[in-house]
A = this chain, B = another copy of it.
């Protein structure tokens, strides 16, 4: 577990969402959002439980109308993780969600103009000790400006300005605990918005790309944005957004944090070379079969499978289990020590045996 040395984590205030702390030195938490109609409480709760079982720390549900707000107490009572209500347009629904026990309420400054209503929500949240997230999205910011064309390079500052205006209103109304987000659907705009936001305040930040697209695109866009920001020490909680099963949002969030060294890997982490004119074994097939055969292993082990002597011995030494292949054979390593030489035909079997032995050691 490490953050790159020269970019210490931005020090933010700590906010508690139920039992989950966001900000300060708390681990970066993972959020997702249900895709069910919230008013169907049982169906929504079933999805909340699936998300929690996959490792989701906080689950958000849309509350577009009163019947959805009325389902909240049942969902909150049955959920293993804190429930966040997602509110747009209506401050009355935000009041309802707080009263219904939502652990946190998200409001969108891009589509709420009722400032008196907002002041009431702020006051109630402060009294209840319940945090709010002010979250702007490029889409709603642009819709609000409809007619007045916004140049892409002006969007980040506009998003931050919209958030900070609300932060000043909150300061005048008892200052409930706040989390901020500024998501755009394209990568450079999102990075820039969060960099500006990180400088503008010390509130904890919720990271994400909005409308990030189908799973493959969303995985890349989220990796680019979250990777950059977290590598610069920015970000306290995250949501990967994708058009598809929200369980995948949780798994990708975990993957990003693990690759950045911010939490342990889930299962086997494979390090393998691209093969080149030096490689004398069928490494591509070996790696594919190794990956397929180790999906059940949950221990966070690094396994290096390398095709030649250039980087093979070094990577194999660094890994929990390593194989440095040569012509027709490979040298097997365990925790940095060479164990034995195996012929090509036995490589996969020997690797699997070694991986399972090391995994069993715990």
Contact = CB atoms under 8 A, between A and B. Distances in A.
A120 to B, nearest CB: 22
Contacts of A187: 227, 259-261
A61 interface: yes
A315 B259 contact: no
Contact of A191 (B4, B137, B224, B308): B4
Given A33-B276, A185-B304, A211-B274, 18 more contacts: A5-B153, A88-B310, A138-B314, A139-B313, A188-B261, A191-B231, A210-B273, A211-B311, A213-B287, A214-B270, A214-B288, A220-B255, A220-B259, A221-B259, A224-B224, A243-B273, A243-B284, A244-B274
A272 interface: yes
B310 A276 contact: no
Interface of A: 2-6, 33-39, 44, 61-64, 68, 86, 88, 108, 110-111, 137-144, 146, 152-153, 185-188, 191-192, 195, 210-214, 217, 219-221, 223-225, 227-228, 231-232, 241-244, 246, 249, 255-256, 259-261, 269-279, 283-284, 287-288, 291, 304-306, 308, 310-315, 317-318
9 contacts: A2-B152, A2-B188, A110-B314, A139-B313, A191-B231, A210-B311, A211-B304, A220-B255, A224-B231
B246 A314 contact: no
Tell me which of A38, A63, A139, A246 has the highest count of chain B C-beta atoms within 10 A of its own C-beta.
Answer: A139
B277 A62 contact: yes
Given A4-B191, A195-B4, A259-B221, A62 B291 contact: no
